[in-house]
Amino acid sequence: MAEKILTMKLLKEKYGVCKLDKTEDTPEWVKNSEFFSITRTSDELSIVCSEANIPNNIKCEKDWRVLKVEGPLDFSLIGILASISTILAQKGISIFAISTYDTDYILIKNKDIDNAISSLLEEEYEVIK
């Protein structure tokens, strides 16, 4: 049997990707999520957090699941996101990726998560549910 390439863990909750005005302060409701990401650019304030915490009046795309690449990953590693995104792109699965100091998180729409996991397993990735 081939050695597993990487281990990924499926986070339990569903997440939303929100767009707020670039001048807004980071809202407190974001911080109630086990996993969240906040990115401010000159154009927007983008937030990823548990969809259960997102108020109804916020512009967002909901129903995302998160696969965490188990790390920490060394900065010298090459092609991790490229490999994962290629596997999923070949199956017609869109992703939204977030990288942190230690690892990568791959957001996949809930409707595609089973197909994504099957595709990764076929390519010798380990996925913990």
Q: Report CA Rg, the chain.
A: 15
Has residue 124 been placed in a domain? yes
Q: Is residue 57 part of a domain?
A: yes
The domain tally of the chain equals 1
CATH, residue 93:
3.30.2130.10
Range of the domain at 118: 7-128
Query: For residue 1, is it within any domain?
Result: no
pTM for this entry: 0.91
For position 37, what pLDDT does the model report? 97
Q: Is 2 within the bounds of a domain?
A: no
CA distance 13 to 26: 21
**Dihedral of CA 9/10/15/19: which sign?**
positive
Residue carrying the six token digits 């650019």: 41
Using 50 as the pLDDT threshold, list the residues of the chain that sit under it. Answer: 1
Give the dihedral of Cα atoms 117, 121, 123, 126; nearest 10 deg.
100
Q: Are 96 and 64 in contact (CB under 8 A)?
A: yes
**CA distances for 57 relative to 18, 31, 50, 62, angstroms:** 11, 18, 15, 13
